[in-house]
Structure 1
Amino acid sequence: MDALLSCLLLLVILAASLFLVSRAKKHYTGSGSSKLPPGTTGWPLVGESMKFVMLGPEKYISGRMKDCSPDVFRTSLLGETMAVFCGPAGNKFLFSNDNKLVTSWLPLSIKKALVFPDFVDNSVKDIAALKHNFMHEILKPEALRHYIPIMDSMARQHIEADWSPRKEIKVLPLSKKYTFDLACRLFLNIEDLEDIKRLSDPFSRVISGLFSVPIDFPGTAYSGAIKGGKMVRDELLSIIRRRAKQLSENKDMVATDLLSRMLLAMDQENDKLMNEMEISNNVIGLLVASYDTTSISLTMVLNFLAQLPHIYQEVMEEQMEIAKAKGPGELLNWEDIEKMKYSWNVVREALRLTPPAQGSFREAKTDFTYAGFTIPKGWKTFWTVHTTHKNPQYFPEPEKFDPSRFEGSGPAPYTFVPFGGGPRMCPGKEYARLEILVFLHNVVTKFKMEKTIPNEKIVFHSSPTPVHGVPVRLHLHEK
């Protein structure tokens, strides 16, 4: 019903567009004195968003690179004129000029779903800005070392409760449950299942509709995202205020989680409510990443292991060596993670083939020139993994799963970019690495997995999503 309603609304928009404009601008532009990048504006109002969704990002991007330019092309996505930068040179240019020629940008539709209305018109930098660099501090490797035993303990509990009692499971929903539970524990110090559920249920609505057609009409996925976002923000404010009260009443309380540390450092001279909103905005960003990109990454790694026995065997042997060196009940530590070299190469190859994030947006701060074309001030830019990750020039036999690509010096610079690059590189990269490897260790040392749908279709929403959630049969290792 949601899909039908969304399609009907799109038809209304298209009809109105055709009434206002006699024909769509389908011809390619780029010649003349303006020297704008070649490309197409697509349909009025809708632009090329529908083609992007219908073809899928990988096919859409490769087609435009072929028809327009392998360096940079012009399009219209999310209601914005946009320049898509291609290849390692394009990636390097945008990463190197962050906060110089370009600045962070998010579509208005996404901000409306995620942040408080007071912040919708603010820049991404202002929304995510905290006076103290808590995000990078709590997510840097030195800090994360202390969380490895917690990750390991929670992974064991999760597998014991949700995997071991069953002969068959679906990897995707269980991965989402684990990654979200872990994020609540580490970032908010929340362990109660009911408290987590009050956040996770509306969060699923946000993620489901975040990248849908941005029409806030009852029954649409985007309307669900808007409602879910408000529920999440209300619940977070309640959590923040309860925690602030606990901290004020117990001055000796040790702040180990992100939320408590931010609250202790709040500037009392500023408006308290605005500080609470700023904290909530930052926590939401972390939870979105934990719920979607990290869980998809973990799912796709396990998907490849289940369908490639020879890869699984090598990973299992590496992980079993680590397990044999541990005492009874002894939890993983940093030194154990550093031994998982082949396993990490497997993870990286999974991220190359099925990257959880498609890329990132920027906004031009001034007019500038790239590859002979002018990018006007105010234009949006987009870099995407799909210009390099499966390019045979950088990755021979690109569809082949080959972890050896990451041995030695690995891929050429700016060709493997699942976490972005430059000053805006994903601060959660190391967190994701540890979370995936810890969970991977606990799965392969206990089970062998067998896919029940060998050629399961992968569709693209905000991330690559297995249609059936990767159902697998579990076979316990013989002792």
Structure 2
Amino acid sequence: MELTLFITLLLCLFPIFLLFIKIKRKSSNRLPPGPLGIPMIGQSFGLLRAMRANTAEKWIEDRVKKYGPVSKLTLFGTPTVIIHGQAANKFAFTSDTLSNQQPQSIQTLLGERNLLALSGKDHKRVRDAIVAFLKPEVLKQYIRMMDGEMTKHLEMYWEGKQNLTVLPVMKTLTFNIICSLLFGLEPGARREKFLESFQYMIEGMWSVPVNLPFTRYNRSIRASSTIRSMVRDIIGERRLALGKGHASPDQDLITSLLSIHGEAKEEMLSENEIVDNVMLVMTAGYDTSSVLITFMVRLMATDPIVYAAVLREQEEIAKSKNPGDFITWEDLNKMKYTWRVALEILRISPPVFGGFRKTLKDIEFGGYLIPKGWQVFWAANMTHMNESIFPDPSKFDPKRFENQSAIPPYCFVAFGGGQRICPGYEFAKIEILVAMHYLVTRFTWKLCGKDNKFSRDPMPVPTEGLPIQIKAKKIL
């Protein structure tokens, strides 16, 4: 057994050794400084350890001090160049010499035809298809459904309870919203199986891509295969329903993608593209939104000034409504301070720590050569916590976002930038604001964990999932 695993590992690593030999033959004096490290592995475990210890920002800062603003290393099986700063962000989000291809682990789990992996015309075609469903004028009609999901969630997980752990229940909330609004997947055994497989899949998103039995990466691949099969089944059901006139094109994301008809056949999405992008939207909506809501709950328990201002804003909206009324688009537009609080949390603790690109050809950046096929890695905190951009960056101050146009471009990148800005921005905003409205107007809470720290895996995870003690308010 051990000999078989050893031989398998050697076979996996052999092509990487050949790649490194080729790299060494290049003109190394033009490459960025820094060691590539052990083939395939490099500094992957060092970065992952730093993320789990919540010291990833320091890990990158130490590299900058040692090697400068551009340096090379190996991350997740691929030679990589770390860049940072406003110019680096602009380069990552706008350069046509970079592909948006993700590390092999993410690409294997989410597929090769998702929006994160596409460039050029394919990126625009798929992005336009997703944006057609996620744009504000379409999402307005789903606010009432999202409101209803939040009400059901509170009845099941909050009302009548004295204690709960925030992150797990928020993940349940965002998963249920995604299932209902984006995929039309009703509660039941299939949704439960979907959730279980999905949780296993995301555990291996940032992994060294060596597929050996009993590893987290191997389990994630098997879970991804299960999810893909289930999504294909749903696509088949929606296609049949559309054909019989039993479903509308705007019923959910899948029916929307199936209903795209362009002037040319090439404009339509293939089944593989629908599967891959359903999985991408599901991953983005599940983790990032649940983390942000959790961190807002955490902040409300520790910052009485911010809490009072959010509560005042939300109570004014609540007072203007009759019992049983739903949140409206107009209500959401009044939640300006609450959203600024969310943006400031995203600045200090962005759910997505950084992102990857891949060079389409030999390119230069910062005076160095980045060879074709290498990864380029950017980290959000390098501008988010830059005191020349955000004075006193460690201080929590929602006023920074009163005039967002005053923030230099490509410096606040929690939602990406340029043509790579997150198409689910408005969906996430609605989800966050609806959730916070009902939480602060119906409950009070206090932290009851041992500490108030968090780690990354790769998303920020509060210690013990953020246990709190809650108390329901009297509804007047």
How far the C-alpha of 1:253 sits from its partner, in A, is 4.4
1:214, distance to aligned residue in structure 2 (A)? 2.9
Residues 1:255 and 1:96: Cα distance change in structure 2 (over 3 Å): closer
Of the structure 1 ranges 347-356 and 193-202, higher mean CA displacement relative to structure 2 is found in: 193-202
Amino acid in the other structure paired with 2:73 = T
The 1:183/1:331 distance shift into structure 2, 3 A limit, reads same
Change (3 A) 1:51 1:128: same
1:474 aligns with 2:476: no
**Offset at residue 124 of structure 1 (A):** 3.4
Instruction: Map 1:95-134; keep pairs closer than 5 Å.
Output: 95-97=93-95, 100-115=96-111, 124-125=118-119, 133-134=128-129
Summarize deviations over 1:143-193 as a string: whole Å, max 9, x none.
222222221121111111111121111110111111111111111122223
Residue 356 of structure 1 and its aligned partner are, at CA, apart by 0.6
- Structure 1 residues 93 and 275, CA gap change in structure 2 (3 angstroms): closer
Mapped to 2, the partners of 1:114 and 1:321 lie a distance apart of 42
Give, in angstroms, the shift of residue 378 of structure 1.
Answer: 2.0
2:91 aligned residue (93, 96, 109): 93
Deviation per CA, 1:100-153, whole angstroms, max 9, x where unpaired?
12111112222222338xx69x95349877568220111122222222222112
Q: CA–CA distance in 2 between the matches of 1:66 and 1:420? A: 26
Counterpart Cα distance in 2 of 1:123 and 1:460: 23
Worse overlay, 461-470 or 370-379: 370-379
The answer as to whether partners of 2:356 and 2:378 remain within 8 angstroms in 1 is: yes
Q: Note the C-alpha offset of 1:222.
A: 1.1
Query: Which one of the candidate residues 259, 284, 298 is aligned to 1:289?
Result: 284
| TM-score computed with the length of structure 1 as normaliser | 0.86
Could you tell me how far apart the structure 1 residues matched to 2:249 and 2:312 are? 40
Would the aligned equivalents of 1:198 and 1:235 in 2 still touch at CA under 8 Å?
Answer: no
Match of 1:310 in 2: 305
Task: Say yes or no: does 1:175 pair with 2:173.
Answer: no
The verdict on how the C-alpha distance between 1:42 and 1:343 changes in structure 2, with shifts beyond 3 A counting, is same
1:346 is matched with 341
Percent identity (aligned) = 35
Map 1:10-409 onto structure 2 (within 5 A).
34-56=29-51, 57-70=56-69, 72-97=70-95, 100-115=96-111, 124-125=118-119, 133-250=128-245, 253=248, 255-265=250-260, 275-409=270-404
> How many residues get paired?
453
Instruction: Please state whether the residue corresponding to 1:347 is helix, strand or coil.
Output: helix
- Counterpart CA distance in 1 for 2:369 and 2:234 is 48
Contact 2:442 2:473 in 1 (8 A): yes
- CA drift at 1:48: 0.9
* Equivalent AA in structure 2 for residue 124 of structure 1: L
Aligned AA (1:101): T
Q: Deviations over 1:200-246 (max 9, x none)?
A: 11000001222234332232211110111011011111111122222
1:433 aligns with 2:432: no
Cα shift readout 1:298-354 (whole Å, capped 9, x = no counterpart): 211221112222211110111000111112211111111111111111101111121
- Per-residue CA deviation, residues 13-54 of structure 1 (Å, 9 max, x unaligned), is 89x99xx99xx9xxxx9xx87422222212333111111112
CA shift in 2, pair 1:43/1:324, >3 Å:
same
Task: Name the CA distance, whole Å, in 2 between partners of 1:289 and 1:147.
Answer: 18
Over aligned residues, Cα RMSD in angstroms?
Answer: 3.1
Structure 1 distance, partners of 2:248, 2:459, is 39
**Contact 1:206 1:226 survives alignment (8 Å):** yes
Q: CA deviation at 1:252?
A: 7.0
CA shift for structure 1 position 250: 2.6
* TM-score, normalisation: structure 2: 0.87
Question: Given the alignment of the two structures, is residue 419 of structure 1 paired with residue 379 of structure 2, yes or no?
Answer: no
Give, in whole Å, the separation in 2 of the partners of 1:186 and 1:241.
Answer: 18
Q: What 5-or-longer segments of structure 2 have no aligned partner?
A: none
The CA distance in 2 between the partners of 1:138 and 1:427, in whole Å, is 10
Q: Secondary structure at the match of 2:270?
A: helix
Cα 1:243–1:63 shift into 2, 3 Å: same
Check 1:219–1:340 CA distance in 2 against 1; reply closer, same or farther (3 A cut). Answer: same
- Tell me the distance in 2 between the aligned counterparts of 1:328 and 1:301: 26
| Ranges in structure 1 where 5+ consecutive residues have no aligned partner | 1-8
In the alignment, what sits opposite 2:440?
444
